[in-house]
Amino acid sequence: MTIASRFQPRPEGALRLTLDGAPLTAHPGDSLAAAILCHSGEASRTTGRDSPRTAFCMMGVCFECLVEVDGLPNVQACMTEVRDGMAVRRQMGLRKLGAADV
Amino acid sequence: MSDADLIIIGAGPAGMAAASIAVQGGMRVLVLDEQPRAGGQIYRNVGNGAPRGWLGKDYAAGAGLVADLGHPNIRAEFGATVWRVEVGGRVIWSQGGISHISAAPHLLLAGGAQERPTPFAGWTLPGVMPAGAAQILMKTAGLLARDAVLAGSGPLLYLIAAQMIDAGAPPKALVETQTRAMMLRALPSLPRAVLALPTLVKGVGLLQKIRSAGVVRHTGAAAFHAEPNDKGDIAFSFTAKGRRHRIETPLLLTHQGVIPATHISRAAGVRHRWNHAQQAFEPIVGPWGRTDQPHIHIAGDGAGIAGADAAQAAGALAALDILHLAGRIGEDSRNQRSTAPRAALTRARAIRPFLDAAYAPSPEILAPEGKTIVCRCEEITAADIRQSVAEGANGPRQVKTATRAGMGPCQGRMCEITTRGILAACGTSPSPPRARTPIKPITLGEIASLQEQNA
Ligand code: FES
């Protein structure tokens, strides 16, 4: 099932990205999370128990917005500004975060 | 070696006001903010110049503060995540995957607030977001919700509803948890709130706008429940006036007020206390923003929720005190220059007792039950936490060890306060949970490369 964006459509943006290979456009200054939310209403990741999630707090607090960007996992999409040509992948299932005690 | 005379963490109203006064007093200031631009959440993206008049005049007022950050003696770093604050004034921060160490004799924490987590059945579903997050999307990307439902309580809910109406994307309904009894309990605080008359008048104006836009309003709502319908929209149900209601919406936006963001202040060793009226932990600060840590001041919502005007005033007071402690201005001069910000702070705070009582968070969100997820990262439910308490866990540490709640990447930011609520509902009065370094997740590689730089 494809789920439409939960937001009103905006004019096409000048920047071109891909999400799991599908094209999407964005405006300079958009956070990656905003661009994804504008594109689709579907989950942008799933948890270790397979429950669907999308970006939530939009301010770097909740870590629900983690996606893979140009091969790099666990990127906080709400804190990342879009760049032309970004290849974004949804993160399905659990990915270990490199958190460490110092 | 000091990189600056003062490091300010957070470029919202408190941090920006403080930076401006500190440089006027001759200091070199380093400002660190995690967001891509200055403004904090309240003035987020205001310096970007996008024509978004529907955000209102109060929002546009932040532009002047942002412009002041251009002073040559202010170095402002954005996308800069502080992950360690050391006793003695060293701050370690990460930007673009590289960590840096900065030091200064004075540190001002102005990290502001986060939205209170609003756990209820279904709040993790795609299509449920905090209302503040939707407002950030409006401010930063001009993104407008389709037929959203706003649910919860608090003045921010009215502001966002009004902004959505002005932007041509009115909410489908406003579902409020506050009850008539809460409003009655708040009434004795109303005379004091009159000191903040412009704020009250603005609030009444927002309510009028919502009424004349014909937005459906429910109050005294409880027993929130969200589930996906067959289109992937949210079927939202709740009880109000003794009857169950159901609304379908692509986007359910919830809000139960904001709470101080205290991970940095807790990790820095500052003493905290529970604020019962605001149902949140806050650092203990004096009238100038001083804490029990000799080099650390705190100003703004991070020291207790009072809003943007109060934050700006508290930032000014802290900066004056820091100039005084650094020997740059005398005590008399500090006191004299504090008159205007002190008065502004008193005015801005006058409305809080009223707001705190009238829009207190709903009890079932403070201490949820059953299968409602509390820790979103580790998927721990209210029942899991209640069971750990029944089995003897009597504080945040024990609950965390027993259930893993709070061990995920958000490091408890989304669940600690709910765990506290459940512990309190079970009859304990827990102390503030510890915050550990790194305060935000950081890769081992980044830590290793930092150690090499320092070797
Ligand atoms: S949406 Fe919460 S951290 Fe990105």
**Other CB atoms closer than 10 Å to residue A20's CB: what's the count?**
13
What's the confidence (pLDDT) of residue A73?
Answer: 92
3 state SS of B84: strand
* pLDDT tens for each residue of chain B, 455 residues long: 468 999 999 999 999 999 999 999 999 999 999 998 888 888 887 777 666 787 887 887 788 889 889 999 999 999 999 999 987 789 999 998 899 999 999 999 999 999 999 999 999 999 999 999 999 999 999 999 999 999 999 999 999 999 999 999 999 999 999 999 998 999 999 888 888 888 888 999 999 999 999 999 999 999 999 999 999 999 999 999 999 999 999 999 999 999 999 999 999 999 999 999 999 999 999 999 999 999 999 999 999 999 999 999 999 999 999 999 999 999 999 999 999 999 999 999 999 999 999 999 999 999 999 999 999 999 999 999 999 999 999 899 999 999 999 999 999 999 999 999 999 999 987 788 888 888 888 887 788 777 666 65
Strands of B161-283, DSSP E: 173-176, 216-218, 222-228, 234-240, 243-249, 252-255, 258-260, 272-275, 280-283
* CB-closest option in B81, B133, B441 to A99: B441
* CB-closest option in B137, B232, B251 to A1: B232
What's the confidence (pLDDT) of residue B452?
Answer: 67
Q: Does residue A78's CB lie within 6 angstroms of at least one atom of ligand 1? A: yes
**Rounded alpha-carbon distances, angstroms, from residue B455 to B93, B105, B448, B450:** 18, 23, 11, 9
| Minimal C-alpha gap between B278 and chain A (Å) | 20
pLDDT in tens, A68-91: 999 999 999 999 999 999 999 999
Residue A15 pairs with which residues in a beta bridge? A26
Q: Least CA distance to B81: which residue of chain A? A: A60
Contact B300, B282 (CB under 8 A): no
Give the span between the Cα atoms of B318 and B313, in whole angstroms.
Answer: 9
Contact B142 A10 (CB under 8 A): yes
What's the confidence (pLDDT) of residue B431?
Answer: 82
Q: What phi and psi values does residue B297 have, to the nearest 5 degrees?
A: -105, 155
**Other CB atoms closer than 10 Å to residue A59's CB: what's the count?**
23
Q: For helices A32-39 and B131-141, give the axis angle rounded to 10 degrees.
A: 100
Give the span between the Cα atoms of B286 and A84, in whole angstroms.
Answer: 48
Chain A touched by B232 (CB under 8 Å): yes
What's the confidence (pLDDT) of residue A102?
Answer: 28
Query: What domains can be seen in chain B, in order of their start residue?
Result: 6-114+259-329 (3.50.50.60), 117-256 (3.50.50.60), 367-455 (1.10.10)
CA of residue A57 to ligand 1 center, whole Å: 5
Nearest to B223, CA basis, from B207, B244, B202: B244
Q: What percent of chain A has pLDDT over 90?
A: 86
Strands of B11-95, DSSP E: 29-33, 74-78, 80-85, 90-95
Give the span between the Cα atoms of B145 and A4, in whole angstroms.
Answer: 12
Q: Does residue A33's CB lie within 6 angstroms of at least one atom of ligand 1? A: yes
Return the sign of the alpha-carbon dihedral for residues A75, A77, A82, A86.
Answer: positive
CB pairs under 8 A, 24+ apart, for B90-97?
A: B91/B7, B91/B9, B91/B32, B92/B450, B93/B32, B94/B440, B94/B442, B94/B446, B97/B443, B97/B446
Residue B90 pairs with which residues in a beta bridge? B103
Q: Does the N-terminal peptide bond of residue B438 adopt cis geometry, omega within 30 degrees of 0?
A: yes
In the numeric block, which tokens belong to residue B104?
Answer: 């200064």
**Rounded alpha-carbon distances, angstroms, from residue A74 to A63, A69, A92, B257, B453:** 9, 8, 11, 29, 25
Contact A17, A24 (CB under 8 A): yes
Q: What percent of chain A has pLDDT over 70?
A: 90
Minimum-distance ligand 1 atom for the alpha carbon of A76: 4
CA of residue B72 to ligand 1 center, whole Å: 33
Q: Which amino acid is at B164?
A: M
Q: Which amino acid is at B44?
A: R
What's the confidence (pLDDT) of residue A101?
Answer: 32
Structure letter (DSSP) for residue B147 = S
Chain A touched by B255 (CB under 8 Å): no
**Other CB atoms closer than 10 Å to residue B297's CB: what's the count?**
29
CA angle A79, B416, A101 (to 5 degrees): 65
Return the sign of the alpha-carbon dihedral for residues A94, B405, B414, B287.
Answer: negative
Contact A62, B410 (CB under 8 A): yes
Contact A49 B137 (CB under 8 A): no
Q: Which amino acid is at B445?
A: G
Query: What domains can be seen in chain A, in order of their start residue?
Result: 13-93 (3.10.20.440)
What's the confidence (pLDDT) of residue A11?
Answer: 92
pTM equals 0.94
Contact B319, B21 (CB under 8 A): yes
In the numeric block, which tokens belong to residue B179?
Answer: 């009850």
pLDDT in tens, B163-202: 999 999 999 999 999 999 998 999 999 888 888 888 888 9
